[in-house]
Structure 1
Amino acid sequence: MNPIFSIWRQPTETMKYMLAKNSIGYSLLIYVLASISVGMVTMMDTGIFTGMPLALIVFISIAISFIGAIIGWFISTALYTWVGKWLGGRGRYAEMLTVIPASSIVQIWLSPMNLALLVLYGSTLFEAPVSEFEITTIPLGVYFLVNLVNLAVGIYGIVILCKGIGLVHGFSAWRGLGTVAIITGIMIVLGIILLLIFGAIIFAVITAMF
């Protein structure tokens, strides 16, 4: 079985295969390929690297994507294992670590589209929009089509993730979705709290200065 192809037709069987294979090396390979696919355009429209050679921009973008993916892999695995056990699961961290990368396999299939964007628009792809009323430096039709494809792939990736969590914990994909929802809710609350704290600190500093 080749997970890169079978994930579309047999997602559950593919994850069972990955669980049985229990290969961290294969999981890393998935993240390398997914990071190359997504990373080549991850800094699109930001303007952060304006003036840099295109090759360097792409390299830095891919490196950032890969590092972020690896850090997120270990942290999210711990959260999915922990919260899943709240919901009656029985999965182990090592098992979850093997299955979670399956949700990133679909991102590998975005590479032809992202490579085409890179070839067609080059450095322009990474420049910030000139006007505050613009949202991108590429044609709007292309921009919305790209985002529509990314949304569809992202949704399918979440479906795979929920199935994977359910598989490891021995419960349904719906309970897997509940696990993801709880973690997302916690992250949103923590984000709001941190934002309020930093806002209060900045307000206090400005007040003290004046």
Structure 2
Amino acid sequence: MDQKITHFNSLFTVWFKPRETMRNLLENPNPKFFYFMMLFYGLSTALFELSDRGIGQEMPRVVILFIEIILGIVVGLIWYYLISGFLKWLGSLLGGKGRYRDLQIAVVCHAIPYVVLTGLSILAFLLFGDSSGLSDEGLISLGIYILSGIAIILSVWSIIIFVICLSEAHRFSIKKALLLWFVLLPFYWIGSMSLSFIEVVQNEEYKTKPINEAISDFGYDVKTPSYITFKPKKEYGWIDKELNQLQITYQRGFSQELTYNVSPEKPLYYREIGEKVYLYDDAIGYYTEIDEVNRIDWYHDGLYYSMDYVSNDLIKKTQFLKIARSFK
């Protein structure tokens, strides 16, 4: 069989004949083809990461696609070389006989389904990367759910393919290959959590600011309390751009905290239940006590407020309402 045809067919045969496809690639290795597949794997991973963080709404698409290409090359090649060596070492501890190149090919087979995922992610990016100009929110949500569902199915199937290919590369049983994948799984989690932590630390959206600065950046006439039942050790605010809300926190310790959220649009967590109380300037609040948390929700001057007082013990209702009535 022609070698080029063999590699092209692997894009299709790996879905239903992963073991046979793996054997063909082992017998006819082609480094150029492997690099090409890992590039697509990196592109898919990077595109999903950027799309999931909504970067498509903040940067020009040409710039994003350029970033995708760079990240795809870096992520794909690093993954290709490092994870192959790691799998060879772990597999050898389980009695595996696979060579370094054999594990590289297994990684490539695992990456083949991501060619389809890359196409889906590009399609989702082009359709929904910037939905500000689209009016049919129901259609947008349906499209995103369908594409997300297909992506989940393909991701699960890629794991099955990966386990089978690991079995073939190391020439041991599916049980040992599955065990190898489970041993590898915590490293996925650690890497993912590390990237998320770095993102949170570096992302300006999640950096806390002095309260006055946060209110100024929020751009609305947000009221603050002139009375609090304790002397705060920390006072800060931060803006959730995705939800378009401002959160203000006064903290004495982990067990005593006063927090309130402000939004120009009625949020899903806003409650109009509980005891109705009068606050200030004809504002009406809804007071509740649940699980050692005093809470009140109210609307005033175009803004929705939701305030919680978290403590080891509920404070008196009169004290909590005194805080709410001191917003001026």
Structure 2 length-normalised TM: 0.49
Residues 1:13 and 2:13 are matched in the alignment: no
Aligned partner of residue 171 in structure 1, secondary structure:
coil
In structure 2, stretches of 5+ residues that fail to align are 1-5, 133-138, 197-328
Residue 40 of structure 1 deviates from its aligned partner by 4.3
Q: CA 1:123 to 1:63, structure 2 compared with 1: closer, same or farther past 3 Å?
A: farther
Conserved 8 A contact 2:39-2:77: no
Conserved 8 A contact 1:38-1:114: no
Q: CA 1:78 to 1:119, structure 2 compared with 1: closer, same or farther past 3 Å?
A: same
Conserved 8 A contact 1:96-1:165: yes
Q: How many residues align?
A: 183
In structure 1, stretches of 5+ residues that fail to align are 126-137, 196-210
Identical residues among aligned pairs (%): 20
Conserved 8 A contact 1:18-1:98: yes
Structure-2 residue corresponding to 1:199: none
Which one has a bigger Cα radius of gyration? 2
Task: Decide which structure has greater helix share.
Answer: 1
Residue 98 of structure 1 deviates from its aligned partner by 2.4
The whole-number CA distance in structure 2 between the counterparts of 1:70 and 1:54 is 24
Which amino acid letter does the alignment assign opposite residue 185 of structure 2?
T
Conserved 8 A contact 1:31-1:69: yes
Residue 114 of structure 1 deviates from its aligned partner by 2.8
Which amino acid letter does the alignment assign opposite residue 150 of structure 1?
A
RMSD over equivalenced CA pairs, Å: 3.0
Structure 1 length-normalised TM: 0.74
Structure-1 residue corresponding to 2:148: 147
The whole-number CA distance in structure 2 between the counterparts of 1:190 and 1:58 is 24
Alignment of 1:148-187 (within 5 A): 148-185=149-186
Task: Decide which structure has greater strand share.
Answer: 2
Give deviations 1:159-195, integer Å, cap 9, x for gaps.
Answer: 11111111111112221111011122356579889x9
The whole-number CA distance in structure 2 between the counterparts of 1:36 and 1:29 is 11
Which amino acid letter does the alignment assign opposite residue 147 of structure 1?
S
